Structure 1
Amino acid sequence: MAKHFARLDNAHPAGLGRRLGAMLYDSLLLLALWVALTTLHVLTSRLVLGVPAEQLGQGTLQVVSLRLLLVLGAFGFLAYFWMRAGMTLGMQAWRLRVQTPDGQAISLRQCLVRFVVGGLSWAALGLGHLWVVWDPQRRSWADLASGTSVMLLPGRRR
């Protein structure tokens, strides 16, 4: 059963500035994750597989396996947080949550679509993310393709 989020009454679609702020914050976390994964890859190559130091990073298998590990690590990081609470750590800091239109947590398939289309949005010189500025409902290409929306949550009451 999908998790239904509370606090939907005062939530409204998030703008570009907050989305970019959350992306910047999360990119720093992803960078740290990638450093750890790269270290794990190097240690496994050297200690388990016995690859000589001068051959690290050479050859198709070395390059493809590291790239695949980094992409899967990024997807795992994002999907875990999106499915669990609807927000990554960067999204928490900016009070954003990704959800279905009826306030449900998103599925693994929706996470995958968001991840792929989000990457393509950057490949198109950021146009897919800038789309938020022109869309009346403030949706990016990833929102449109995955059937999700990024909502700005109300601030905490004191």
Structure 2
Amino acid sequence: MPLPPTTPSLLRRMACWLYEGMLLFGVVFIAGYLFGALSQTRNAMDNRHALQAFLFVIFGIYFVWLWSKGQTLAMKTWHIRVLDRLGQPLSQGRAMVRYLCSWLWFLPPLLASWYFELKGGEALVIFVGWIAIWAILSRFHPRQQFWHDALAGTQLVDERPAKP
């Protein structure tokens, strides 16, 4: 009977998460340029809610498409693969559920910042603090998975090549 796949370390998963954020800068740049050109937006504050909704959809397309193929570029770099609970590749439906659940990384600090009208440094502290708490909470999962993966029925697995 094969051993269950191992979960990448928290440090590797967070490094992958950070690298993914840097790669998303390019996606945001191209999507923002496309949105601005199509909507004829001249000021960054005009149509900002429409731009946010557009980026939410673009991110969804990006992640659902790549997760259903097994990996994003950042995940390939860090040798991490996303699978369902049974060890199978994600369907697009399961990848969509994971995308929606992954917003638990951002939604609580965004809502807190909005509700308490936090700006600048205060919002950044809440945001970074929540990211740290959410990451550390994975230590309480039986397989050390992030809780949004547990909710979505997915898992991150180590895909490093075997050592000779």
Q: Which runs of 5+ in 2 are unaligned?
A: 109-129
What residue ranges of structure 1 are gaps of 5+ in the alignment?
Answer: 1-7
Contact 2:104 2:148 in 1 (8 A): no
> Partner of 2:87 in structure 1?
103
2:135 aligned to which of 129, 137, 147: 129
1:18 CA drift (Å): 1.0
Cα separation, 1, equivalents of 2:58 and 2:93: 16
CA distance in 2, matches of 1:36, 1:11: 36
Question: Structure 2: how far apart are the matches of 1:89 and 1:98?
Answer: 12
Q: How far did residue 122 of structure 1 move?
A: 3.7
Aligned: 1:57 with 2:45: yes
Residue 150 of structure 1 aligns to a residue whose secondary structure is: strand
The answer to whether residue 60 in structure 2 is matched with residue 75 in structure 1 is yes
2:39 aligns to what?
45
SS in 1 for 2:71: coil
5 Å matches for 1:104-119?
104-119=88-103
Greater per-residue helix proportion = 2
Matching residue's letter, 2:45: G
Q: 1:153 aligns with which of 131, 137, 159?
A: 159
Q: Distance in 1 between matches of 2:84 and 2:144?
A: 14
Quick one: which amino acid aligns to residue 58 of structure 2? G
Tell whether 2:19 aligns with 1:25: yes
Q: Give the C-alpha shift of residue 64 in structure 1.
A: 2.4
Look up the SS of the partner of 1:33 in the other structure: helix
Shift of 1:69: 1.1
Structure 1 ranges of 4+ moved more than 4 A: none
**Deviations, residues 8-28 of structure 1 (Å, cap 9, x unaligned):** 868411221111111111111
> What is the number of residues matched between the two proteins?
141
Report the Cα distance in structure 1 between the residues aligned to 2:145 and 2:66, rounded to whole angstroms: 20
Q: Distance in 1 between matches of 2:52 and 2:67?
A: 22
Identity of aligned residues (%): 21
How far is 1:108 from its partner?
2.3
Q: 1:57 to 1:156 in 2, by over 3 A?
A: same
Say which structure, 1 or 2, has more relative contact order (CA 8 Å, 6+ apart): 1
Q: Select which of 141, 144, 150 maps to 2:147.
A: 141
Tell me the TM-score normalized by structure 1.
Answer: 0.78
CA distance in 1, matches of 2:4, 2:163: 12
